[in-house]
Structures are given as C-alpha cells and as structure tokens.
Structure 1
Amino acid sequence: MIEKLWYGKNRLYWLLLPFSWIYGLIACVRHKLYQMRILKSWRSPVPIVIIGNLSVGGNGKTPLVIALIEALTSKGLQVGIVSRGYGGKADNYPLLLNDNTTTEQAGDEPVLIYQRTKVPVAVAPNRSQAVQLLLKQHKLDVILTDDGLQHYALARDIEVVVVDGKRLFGNGWWMPAGPMRERANRLKSVDLIIINGDSVNNIAELYPSKTYTMQLAPLYAVNLLTQEKRELVNLHNICAIAGISNPQRFFTMLTTLNADVIKTTSFADHQKFTPALLANLVTNEQTLLMTEKDAVKCRQFALPNWWYLPIDAVLPIAAVDQICSLLANMKSSRE
C-alpha cells in the first residue's frame, strides 16, 4: 500500500502530508543546526566518503559501495567501510567484522560487503565510533560509509548520492506521505550523483558536471553450499525469492535474462530467513534462487539446490576519476 502511495497513482498520500511537514521541519532544522555548528560533527583524520540516498529503500547503494572499494583499491588506496548495521544487534559497539560475524550481529549489507571485498568493515549506531575503531586497527587512506547521508554527526569530505533511475523520487514528499528523507534540492550540495540504470529525467541536465549513470550487471549464479558457479541459463525450474526493498527489480532482471523462472516470492526488506520459512518454497527437483543480500543470511542452513545471483555495479571511469581527484586535492590541502 505504501509503495502505491509513494510511487503509484494513488493520491491519498495527501492525508499524510501534515506528518510529512513535521518530519521535513525537524530534518531541515537539524541539518541547519549542524551547518551552524550548534550541533557538533566529529571529523576524521582521513577522508570520509558518504554513499547515501535521499529516498527510502534500495537504490543500488551497496553494489556501488563494492564497486568503489574495488576501484579505489586498484589504485593503491587502503579502504575501510563503516555502516549503521541496520537489522543487526551486536553485544557491543563498535563492532569490527570478521569471517565469523553474522547478519544478526552486523546487519545484511555490512556482512555482504565484507564477504565480497575483505576490506575492514566496522558497524555502530554512532558511525564516528566505528571510524575510530577502524583507524585504531588499520592504516587507511579513505573510509566509505554505507548510507549515512543524513547522519550529520559524522563530518564528511565527499557526498555521493544514488538515485533509482526508474522510481526516482516518487511523489517527492518527505516521509510518510512520500519516500524522501530530504528533498530533491539537496542534490545541489552533493559532490556526485549516481543514477542507477537508464532514466528519463532532467537530473543530468541540472547537474551535468557531477551526474553519472551506473548499470547493475548480474554475474554467474553461485551455489550456497559448494560455491560452484554456473551461467544462469543452466539453472532450471527456478523459484526466485527476494527479501530486499524492491523485490520486483530482481524478478524483472531475471525475466530480462530469460531465466527459467516458474515462481517468485517476495519478502520484507531485511527479512530474517529460517529453514522452516523456506522449506516449502521449492522441491528437490527445483532451484531456489535468491539475491546475494539474502544469501548471506542462509548459508548456515542452505540446501544443495539453493543458489544466489551476485550483482556488480558498472561505473563510468570518469566517476571514479572525479572521486580520486577530490581525494587527491584533500590530501594536498591537509599536508
């Protein structure tokens, strides 16, 4: 229902506008207090790059974080990651991830990022504490934050905003009448805008020097138990599941790739999976296919016919070069 209010034709969202104005007023006042330095931000001794979004829901932020880690690492930079760790609950914060850290402790995205990249990852509700832990344990050149555009308690050097190329900003209103955490005019002040997928919009026209388009490219399917890799066309009788904020994007991708999908099942974002929950979704003769974000929560009890589909973000070289140029300028100014 809420998706239809935000992104569909349903105009009943006006009933929620009074609450949106309250949310927007609080958000604007809070941001202004940080700008005026009445509320204090903690500044890291190494550059902080925020990877965030203006709207609620999955815009492709995590694949972008992974792509930037790989790009910056290939240029010789030592990269660390901090995150709120949404959905996780650790005994103590900040938490530095290792090979045994679970999604119950750290949340889905941080575990996924760590498993894919093996760079240092720390989570904490207070991201400044996560940064300090990383710097205590590792010598780093730059720290990326997975989300946190609105976490102004952590000072940032570069802001990168990801925009869903298809859904954009929906009706444009603040929550709960719309999907926005901040209004679209916030794009004026960010350093880079990354549009996920092709889109018919005027963002690139408004901000031509800092807007880039990325594409999500599916890789081979991977077996959860054996790590065997197969081309997607070699999987048959697929029952696809997705516990992400926009499951239909995953299902549409499978259709575009001509996957042999016989059934799809959507779950809530950050769904906690159990063997009992998934047991009746697929027979032994069928294939259960999930997102990589879902797979990190299912490896401990996976069955032989369970597979996941990793996704890579393909970025223009110019976008990476612009971030590197900004980092180089900061290094020069700090020396």
Structure 2
Amino acid sequence: MKLYPVLRAVIRPLSLVYAGGSRARVWLYRRRFFRQHRLPQIVVSIGNLTVGGTGKTPMVLWITQRLLEERKRVGILTRGYAGFGKSKRRGKPELSDEVRLLQARTAGQAPIGAGANRRAEAMRMEKEDVEWLVLDDGFQHLALARDVDVVLIDATNPFGGGLLPTGRLREPLPALERADILVITRSASAPAIEEQLRRYSTAPIFYAQTHLQQILSIPDGRGTEKQLVVPGKTKFFTFCGIGNPAGFWSDLNKRWGFHLVGARAFRDHHAYTTYELRKMERQAQAAGAEALVCTEKDVFNLPPNTFETLPAYYCRIEMRLNDPHGFWRAILASVKRHHGAAR
C-alpha cells in the first residue's frame, strides 16, 4: 500500500487508534471478557499479519493433504468471502473463489465449512466425524481456540509498511507472540527478517515457496485444443484478481521463467465481465502477447466462453517447505502441548 507522504501523515493517527483497538481486543479475550470457544476437534490455524496474499490457501492445502495422507478425518473452516450465505445466484448460496478452489483440489475428501459462524460449521462437521480442522485465515479469529497457530510472513513485504490504514498490517508486530510456528514465504533464506521476528517471537521458523505444478488451459467455449506452452518461449500477458498481484508476477517472471509483455491487476476476488476481458484481450494483443495467463483462483471468477482470440492458461501451484518433516513435527508438538492441556 503506497500513500503520498502528506496523506500518510493525515491518516497516521487512525493507525494508532487501530493499534489500540487491536491490543484491547486481544486483552479482552485473554481476560475472558470475550468468550473463546474450544472445539472438540484439533484445530490448526493458518493466518498472517498483513492484508493480501502470503500463501495461506496453498498452506491450507498442504496441511489438509498431509492429514489425508495420514488417513485423518479432516475438514476446512473458512469465512467464504464475498458474502457467503448472503449473496444468492439462482437460489443457491454463492461460494467464493477460494472455497471452490479448495473443493476442487481436495476432490471432496475434506468437507468445507464456509461462513461467518465458523463455530457452527465446526459443530456440523463433528457429526461427520471430522477429527482435525484447518482454520483458514484464523490468526485474528480469536473467538475460536486453536491448538496450532501457523503465521505466514511474506519475505517480499514482511511487515506491510505499518498498521492499517497507513500500511498493510492487521495487528501490531508483538501479536506474533501468539504464534506457535512462523513460516517465511517466497524465500529460501531471509536472515534479516528472522532477526526482526526474533524480537517478538520464539516460535520455530520455516521457509516455504510456491512451486509451479502445471500450466493448464482455460476452456475457450469452442472446444479448441490448446497446444502445450513453453513459458520462456511464449509471450504472455498476465492478469489476476488476488491480494498480492506483484508477488504472482514476480513468481511468473523471476522464478518460473515466463516471458511477460504486460500485466493487469484487478481487485481481490474480482468477478470478471465479458466486456472487460475482451478489452484486456485487445490490450494484450497490442502488447504483442501470444497467450494469457492467470492464477487458478481467477478461473473460478471467469464467465463462460471467456476468450475469443488468445489462448489462455492458469498456473496450478503447490507449497514447498524447506523442512517439511521438521514443520510437521512442530505442528504435532504444538497439538500435544495445547490439545492435551485443554482437556
């Protein structure tokens, strides 16, 4: 979030008010003025301190898939975004892009509870014999107790340039003392960030990066078969409606070898219209693009028969940790420490 110096000076007092409110909220939960509900399931929370993408969804998938491999009965709790349970389309609740992505990637093996009342969703899952719950974006959701608090830190912008609304921080940095595990994403090593984190937390620190699994074609409505692309030999125009578009573009260009000739960012969870996509296609052609590329999440926000002239693809990614075995041991140790003590 970039602001002119004068504007930053004007709204900085609002950040101080926000910080005070955030600290007061945590204090009220700790003093039990606000009730924190403990669920019967083991709860693993995945969260962050900043607004925008830090890799929460890939991490939710990583942990869910690991639990499924160990034959655990696991479910996912998420807010659902975009007014789940409020917006209606053809008489049905409108699921968010992230929920639909999670459904597709878990292939129905992990039930998903989406809605503002995550406790109610968890109780519903208890009837399905779910033993473990992965709480998406849960660090600030203090109404639910958890057995593991995993906090993700984006190495490209670790501390967000200050608290909201001046910067991107959702809580003051001392909130990291609540974390059980810290994961620095988009980096294999960041000793300077580690040093700063150690001022606020003694939790074990791991590193993770998103790995490009596949480049998959987006159906064009005409049944046209798209040829397999080679990222470095094809000129791409990229677009996305996610929390951290710059991070995605950096991965495409610097880590995955895509030849980019242009880019366009939309707001997070943006529902694309045919008109703006046609306009973007013309923009891409003018830039010399031979194909379009977006994130997997964007696919769920595209209208049917999306593109007319350029082939379009999306990136399927997965999270890769520098020490997956150590990370899993840290999760189990936290579960043993918190889950057993609460019962």
Shared fold by TM > 0.5? yes
**TM-score between both structures, scaled by the size of structure 1:** 0.85
Deviation at 1:122? 1.1
8 A contact 1:80–1:140 mirrored in 2 = yes
- Map of 1:213 onto structure 2: 207
Which of the numbers 307, 317, 342 marks the counterpart of 1:311? Answer: 317
**2:288 matches 1:293:** no
Q: Alignment partner of 1:249: what SS?
A: helix
The letter for the 1-side match of 2:119 is S
**TM-score between both structures, scaled by the size of structure 2:** 0.84
**2:60 matches 1:65:** yes
CA 1:205–1:20: 2 relative to 1, 3 Å? closer
CA 1:235–1:146: 2 relative to 1, 3 Å? farther
Matches of 1:210 and 1:143, distance apart in 2: 22
Deviation at 1:88? 3.7
- Map of 1:129 onto structure 2: 120
Matches of 2:230 and 2:335, distance apart in 1: 39
**2:163 matches 1:163:** no
- Map of 1:96 onto structure 2: none
- Map of 2:105 onto structure 1: 116
The count of corresponding residues between Structure 1 and Structure 2 is 321
Residue ranges of structure 2 left out of the alignment (5+ in a row): none
- Map of 2:237 onto structure 1: 239
- Map of 2:138 onto structure 1: 148
Q: Alignment partner of 2:272: what SS?
A: coil
Matches of 1:312 and 1:266, distance apart in 2: 22
Which of the numbers 175, 194, 198 marks the counterpart of 1:186? Answer: 175
- Map of 2:331 onto structure 1: 323
Deviation at 1:294? 0.6
- Give per-residue Cα distances to partners, 1:250-302, cap 9 Å, x unaligned: 12222123323222111111111122221232269832211111112227444
Matches of 1:166 and 1:53, distance apart in 2: 14
Matches of 1:41 and 1:268, distance apart in 2: 33
8 A contact 1:192–1:211 mirrored in 2 = yes
CA 1:204–1:240: 2 relative to 1, 3 Å? same
CA 1:238–1:214: 2 relative to 1, 3 Å? same
Matches of 1:80 and 1:299, distance apart in 2: 29
CA 1:92–1:45: 2 relative to 1, 3 Å? farther
Matches of 2:79 and 2:227, distance apart in 1: 32
Identical amino acids, percent of aligned pairs = 27
**2:280 matches 1:281:** yes
**2:71 matches 1:76:** yes
- Give per-residue Cα distances to partners, 1:111-166, cap 9 Å, x unaligned: 11111113211111121112122223x22121011102112111222111111111
Deviation at 1:325? 3.2
CA 1:222–1:154: 2 relative to 1, 3 Å? same
Matches of 2:339 and 2:138, distance apart in 1: 23
Deviation at 1:65? 0.9
8 A contact 1:203–1:211 mirrored in 2 = no
The letter for the 1-side match of 2:335 is L
CA 1:323–1:54: 2 relative to 1, 3 Å? same
